[in-house]
Amino acid sequence: MKISIITVCFNSGKTIEDTIKSVLKQTYTNYEYLIIDGGSSDNTLDIIKSYEDKFNGRLKYISEKDKGIYDAMNKGIKLSNGDIIGLINADDILKDKYVFNKVVDNIKDGVYSDVLMMDNDFKYPVRNFISGKYKKNGIFHPAHPSLYLKKKVYDEIGLYNIDYRIAADLDLMLRVINKGYKLNYVKDYFVLMRVGGASTNGLKGYYKNFKESYRVLKKNKVKLPLIKNVIRTFKTFNQGLSAKINKKRIKKYLEE
């Protein structure tokens, strides 16, 4: 199966090279790499172009203004020609060179894993997002950066709702879950993330996330949306605690 891996970016010159390198080193080579740039004014495009030849035709990019991160993701999905679609943000890296192999070997309608949120230098864990096994309870959802879906799923349920600025990923995942698609959980890390995105940038970011997530839960007819949103928030804080408690074990695991 062919994988379409998508990176959306805007003025990401400080970090996108790490992302590109993590895709380039994958041992599974039946993939296309789509970079959707929002019209960067820094050196982002120069970095992308410098790697174009190394991908032997697998790297394609566009650069134009968009309506935000989810609009850019939608553009990438529409351009995709693969059987499986995944996303890797321009601040993040694939955990190792076998991620695509694990995706293809374990895919059902979709596949997902755990995610580690790291400091800017990827030296120590900040949040340990353990996705856990599938549960249809309104609280569970996979770690979005680890989620790979077959293209047919997007064809059937639609794309990201750009009316949401932060929680469109939650909305899409709830739509996937509510439709009963089969998702396989891999007890591993597909992605190492840098902290500091719109939904994780301090208390203000968490508050914005909470408000919009509540709207998403209500729209998707999740029972007791306020209570379940509070539980989701506590799970986020527990992820930070887990990272601190298991710091040595996680660092040892990543070094193996």
Q: What is the mean pLDDT of residues 163-173?
A: 91
Query: How many other C-beta atoms are found inside a 10 Å radius of the C-beta of residue 99?
Result: 29
Q: How far is the C-alpha of 121 from the C-alpha of 105, rounded, in Å?
A: 30
Please provide residue 133's backbone torsions phi and psi, each rounded to the nearest 5 degrees: -75, 155
Question: Which residue carries 């353990």 as its tokens?
Answer: 130
pLDDT digits (tens, 9 = 90+) for 76-120: 999 999 999 999 999 999 999 999 999 999 999 999 999 998 888
Q: Which fold has domain 1-106?
A: Spore Coat Polysaccharide Biosynthesis Protein SpsA; Chain A (3.90.550)
DSSP element (H, E) containing 32: strand 31-37
Are 174 and 222 within 8 A, CB to CB? yes
Q: How do the domains of the chain map onto residue ranges?
A: 1-106, 107-144+169-256
Please provide residue 200's backbone torsions phi and psi, each rounded to the nearest 5 degrees: -125, 15
Are 168 and 162 within 8 A, CB to CB? yes
In this prediction, residue 233 carries a pLDDT of 66
Joined together, the tokens standing for residue 202 give: 């301090």
In this prediction, residue 229 carries a pLDDT of 67
| Confidence bin at 55 (pLDDT 50/70/90) | very high
